[in-house]
Structure 1
Amino acid sequence: MKIIDRYILKRYLVTFVFTLLILIPIAMAIDISEKIDNFLEHPDLGFYQIVDEYYRNFIIYYANTFMPLALFIAVILFTSKLSNNTEIIAITNAKVSFTRFLYPYFVGATLVTLISLGMNHFVVPNSSKIRKNFEKEFIKSSSQKNKAKYVTDFSLQLTDSTYIFIRRYNTMTNSGYDFTSELYDGLKLKSKLVADNIKYNVKDSIFGLTNWRKRVIYKSHDSIFSGSKIDTVFNFTPKDLIYKSALAQEMPSDELLKFINISRKRGVKNLNAYLVEFHKRTSLPFASYILTIIAVALAYRKRRGGTGVNLAIGIGIMFLYVFLMKIAEVLGAVAGVDSLLYVWIPNIFFGCVAIYLYFYARK
């Protein structure tokens, strides 16, 4: 790597970190102003606990979220400065092509991409779990807590032949009522277990059924059994009852992929919300390359208005990217669509923009 490459790479990374360090305090200040009343409502909540359990994980989450924006702004800022100081003119006069000029930028984008991939797939999910638990305990209202802890009218296919149904389940107390388990042989019902109440014992990983009744169907007759209480084992846990995108954000990618595969075998029809979260963890980091090309191409040539015009155009493109990404996530979570394609649509679209600007800048 030549001296000019090290110079550009150093400016790339330093400006990126500096931009990120500006955005994070702004986000924290806005969040503190919104949640200060919630903190003061709990006299037993100490400053250290707030910093350790909430804001430490808040910084991890938003540092990862702001990475593409910080990278984009950083590249525009210092590349515009190189252009305004006629440093790029000196580089081009030395017969350095635009493609060769991009080399240190791509080295920096690769470093950012690798860091973002590691954070997206492993660090941020574990961090989000701690932060969300803190929010549930100290920030969310009672009505929000009650709404989140109940699962109603839930059905699940455990195996090719076993199905369960629960009328209402409380995920906080691990108990519910109106439980049904049915076993089929093809389309023929073989047995049916019904219980008024069901409770999960976390320690022993067993379910306790009260006021249960079981009907076993034979060729010539049916047998009915009943009792007041019985302990049994099922191939699911209360965690499997909560199908929502917020849960996916708290799972490391290996756990999330395992969860998706198990759920698919159990016959869960729409897992696209989980697939969107899984694919997004890869698509967003790779956007670093696309955004780097766009930013360099915009700021490569000196223009009237200087850095301010480049920055305004860049921020406009960045918000358009975020807007398109959010639309793609919503559409990708709809049942029956290819979630992988929808998640990558923003990168495909802006990748085409980056290719056009690349060839334009080469001229």
Structure 2
Amino acid sequence: MLKRFLVTFFFTLLILIPIAIAIDIAEKIDNFLEHADLTFYQIVDEYYTNFIIYYANTFMPLALFIAVILFTSKLSNNTEIIAITNAKISFTRFLYPYFVGATIITMLSLLMNHFVVPSSSKIRKKFEQTYIKNRSQQNKLKFVSNFSLQLTDSTYIFIRNFNTTGNNGYDFTSEVYDGLKLKSKLASDYIKYNKKDSTFHLTNWRKRIIYKDRDSIISGNKIDTVFNFTPKDLIYQSALSQEMPSDELVKFIDISKKRGVKNLNAYLVELHKRTSLPIASYILTIIAVALAFRKRRGGTGINLAIGIGMMFIYVFLLKISEVLGAVAGVDSLLYVWIPNFLFGCIAIYLYFNARK
């Protein structure tokens, strides 16, 4: 049963992937043809290889759900389940090979979610930014405006405008506090980051140092200095979280919290989703087996229709929970797991009902 179950799962997954590729090619063929220097090998190697990795991982729960319904419905229609029941094999024991298969798929999905897919997405998104996205979309990723950041417990910076591609910006300010009291303030009209030695070049700079009884103001045309941040730290977008492996994402969230970034829920949603979605494989397996366990009038078609309908509801709830979980001030962990809690209750009800 385990072998036939896994074969059905991979067969279902292999059906879904070509459909996704065909739809994507039809949508992006014009973008590919616009670039004369873009080769077929480059499209396959940099884009569609990583496209397959991303969507294979995305479709895993759906493929698992459909595979369980198809496989179990076939057993039911062939009256094999009746023979299993007459042999005094309990429903719980009947679920054993399903759970072994779900565990294999869950472990594979966890590995891909936390490590493989983020690295793959970085290459795919870089290709999209170069050849597919228009200039207005690219500029949104390049420029940062009116950005403030807490570097340490006492140091804050503010940048009016910054170009993350050229690593340069305007109207930069760095302030150092002792509690609530300002100790020093450094301001410059222009700032440039040098990747080679990780230094910042300031132009037309002014520094004010505050003492107990007087202030000291010094200025100059150019100066090189070091700050505890890089241009990458200025970009806070949920899309970037998809490109970070989980260990890097956790480190990024911890550093951002220390720096006083107010809303990191979009990153937390991405982190929690990487675990909640694979774990849902167990819940979806129980629901699918319970739906297809008994022979129905209408056969596999009825089971499949009910299953796809429930899967649609699950995906719909998942998307809503992701949006609500990204709102500032809410518990992102709770919202991400809400679809699993709801469908877990359904799975428990169907499980006890099927045991009867």
TM-score by structure 1 length? 0.97
How far does the alpha carbon of each residue in 1:14-43 deviate from its partner, in whole angstroms, 9 at most, with x for none?
Answer: 010000000000000000001000001110
The Cα of 1:347 is off from its aligned counterpart by 0.4
Instruction: Name the CA distance, whole Å, in 1 between partners of 2:75 and 2:340.
Output: 27
For the residue of structure 2 that corresponds to 1:204, the secondary structure is coil
User: 1:269 corresponds to which letter in structure 2?
Assistant: K
Q: Which residue does 1:281 correspond to in 2?
A: 274
**From 80, 85, 96, the counterpart of 2:89:** 96
Alpha-carbon offset, residue 111 of structure 1: 0.1
- 2:21 match: 28
Among candidates 238, 244, 248, match of residue 231 of structure 2:
238
Amino acid corresponding to residue 59 of structure 1 in structure 2: I
5 Å-filtered alignment, 1:1-363, equals 8-363=1-356
For 1:284 and 1:170, how far apart are their aligned partners in 2? 36
Structure 1 residue 134, shift from structure 2 partner: 0.3
Q: In 1, distance between residues paired with 2:143 and 2:54? A: 27
CA distance in 1, matches of 2:70, 2:337: 27
Distance 2:54 2:203 in 1: 43
Runs of 5+ unmatched residues, structure 2 = none
User: Secondary structure of the residue that 2:149 maps to in structure 1?
Assistant: strand
Per-residue CA deviations over 1:291-348 (Å, capped at 9, x if unaligned) read 0000000000001111000000000000100000011111111111111111110000
CA distance in 2, matches of 1:147, 1:261: 25
Q: Give distance in 2, aligned partners of 1:261 and 1:20.
A: 36
Partner letter of residue 184 of structure 1?
A: Y
**Structure 2 CA distance, aligned partners of 1:300 and 1:198?**
67
For 1:317, what is the secondary structure of its paired residue?
Answer: helix
Mapped partners of 2:196, 2:320: distance in 1? 42
Structure 1 distance, partners of 2:195, 2:349, is: 57
CA distance in 1, matches of 2:29, 2:204: 48
The number of residue pairs the alignment matches comes to 356
CA separation in 2, counterparts of 1:228 and 1:40?
Answer: 48
CA-to-aligned-CA distance 1:100-125 (integer Å, 9 cap, x gap): 00000000000000000000000000
- Whole-angstrom distance in 1 between the partners of 2:201 and 2:313: 52
- Superposition deviation, residue 144 in structure 1: 1.1
User: CA offsets, 1:128-169, max 9 Å, x none?
Assistant: 000000000000111111122111100000111100000111
Write the letter of the residue equivalent to 2:107.
Answer: L
Percent of residue pairs bearing the same amino acid type: 83
> Residue deviations 1:72-115, cap 9 Å, x none?
00000010010001010011111101000000000000000000
Shift of 1:12: 1.0
Residue in 2 aligned with 1:4?
none
Gaps of 5+ in 1: 1-7
CA distance in 1: counterparts of 2:126 and 2:200, whole angstroms: 25
Please tell me the residue identity of whatever aligns with 1:259: F
Q: Secondary structure at the match of 1:291?
A: helix
Cα distance in structure 2, aligned partners of 1:46 and 1:240: 34
- In 2, Cα distance between equivalents of 1:66 and 1:229: 54
Distance of 2:199 and 2:13 partners within structure 1: 48
What is the identity, as a one-letter code, of the residue corresponding to 1:357? L
TM normalised by structure 2 equals: 0.99
SS at match of 1:92: helix
- Coordinate RMSD, CA, aligned: 0.6
| Matched position secondary structure for 2:227 | coil
